[in-house]
């Protein structure tokens, strides 16, 4: 089955932008379940001569904060169960939100390696602002711009070092 890396994070941080940059081929899976639409996309990526599966999570619709919180817990739980490693993506342009905190709490106690990816670091000012994400409690932060590709190499070097 190979090594699987899941990209998790709250909506709009840039998960799908990174996913589309990483994959060579993709297959969209749409799963409708009791009013909540959840899509997970699966693809294959290659870096430094190593091939791995990538899972893009999220894309859910929510009607209340309660459902939102529940869905996020489910998403993170599936990612922890399915994946060998997790890219936890946050957005420097928005900063740390309550949902980032909630997801960080779930991921920190997982036994899987978690790579904190601070996305939308499009310029040097944002690189300075990105240091606030150290407070989420992970050893390292990986700053990147998924749109331009800056920083994705350093993130992927760290991810494939475990394969
Ligand atoms: P997702 O909901 O986490 O999958 O986020 P998307 O990949 O759909 O991206 C949400 C928005 O953020 C889109 O408008 C993207 O173009 C934008 N975005 C993604 N990555 C970057 C980035 O590195 N820099 C900037 N400025 N915008 C980005
Ligand atoms: Mg998406």
Ligand 1: which residue has its CA nearest to atom 24? 120
Q: What is the average pLDDT across 72-86?
A: 88
| 17 Cβ inside 6 Å of ligand 1 | yes
Q: What is the average pLDDT across 88-93?
A: 98
Q: Which residue ranges are tagged as binding site for GTP?
A: 9-16, 56-60, 119-122
| 15 Cβ inside 6 Å of ligand 1 | yes
- Tell me what pLDDT residue 26 has: 47
- Total structural domains within the chain: 1
The residues that bridge with 8 in the sheet, in sequence order, are: 88
- Tell me what pLDDT residue 72 has: 76
| Main-chain phi, psi angles of 157, to 5 degrees | -55, -45
Q: For residues 81 and 83, give the distance between their C-alpha atoms in angstroms, rounded to a whole number.
A: 6
At 145-162, the pLDDT tens digits run 999 999 999 999 999 998
| 57 Cβ inside 6 Å of ligand 1 | no
Atom of ligand 1 nearest to the CA of 148: 23
154 Cα: distance to centroid of ligand 2 (angstroms): 22
Range of the domain at 56: 4-160
At 106-147, the pLDDT tens digits run 999 998 999 999 999 999 999 999 999 999 999 999 999 999
| 145 Cβ inside 6 Å of ligand 1 | yes
- Tell me what pLDDT residue 34 has: 39
- Tell me what pLDDT residue 70 has: 78
106 Cα: distance to centroid of ligand 1 (angstroms): 23
Kindly tell me if the per-residue pLDDT of 33 is higher than 70. Answer: no
Most confident of the following: 69-78, 95-104, 117-126? 117-126
Q: How many CA atoms lie within 13 A of 5 on its CB side?
A: 31
Instruction: Grade residue 57 by pLDDT with cuts at 50, 70 and 90.
Output: confident
Confirm if 5 and 52 have CB atoms less than 8 A apart: yes
Q: Which domain CATH number covers 39?
A: 3.40.50.300
| 147 Cβ inside 6 Å of ligand 1 | yes
Q: What is the average pLDDT across 81-87?
A: 95
- Tell me what pLDDT residue 31 has: 43
């Amino acid at each position: 089955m190979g090594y699987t890396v899941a990209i998790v994070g709250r909506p709009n941080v840039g998960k799908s932008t990174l996913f589309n940059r990483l994959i060579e081929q993709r297959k969209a899976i749409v799963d409708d379940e009791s009013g909540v639409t959840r899509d997970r996309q699966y693809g294959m990526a290659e870096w430094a001569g190593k091939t791995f599966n990538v899972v893009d999570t999220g894309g859910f619709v929510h009607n209340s904060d309660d459902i939102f919180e529940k869905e996020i817990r489910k998403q993170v739980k599936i990612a922890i169960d399915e994946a060998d490693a997790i890219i936890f993506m946050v957005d420097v342009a928005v900063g740390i939100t309550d949902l980032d905190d909630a997801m960080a709490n779930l991921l920190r106690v997982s036994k899987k390696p978690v790579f904190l990816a601070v996305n939308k670091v499009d310029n040097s000012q944002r690189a300075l602002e990105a240091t606030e994400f150290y407070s989420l409690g992970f050893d390292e932060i990986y700053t990147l711009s998924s749109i331009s590709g800056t920083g994705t190499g350093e993130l992927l070097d760290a991810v494939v070092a475990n394969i």
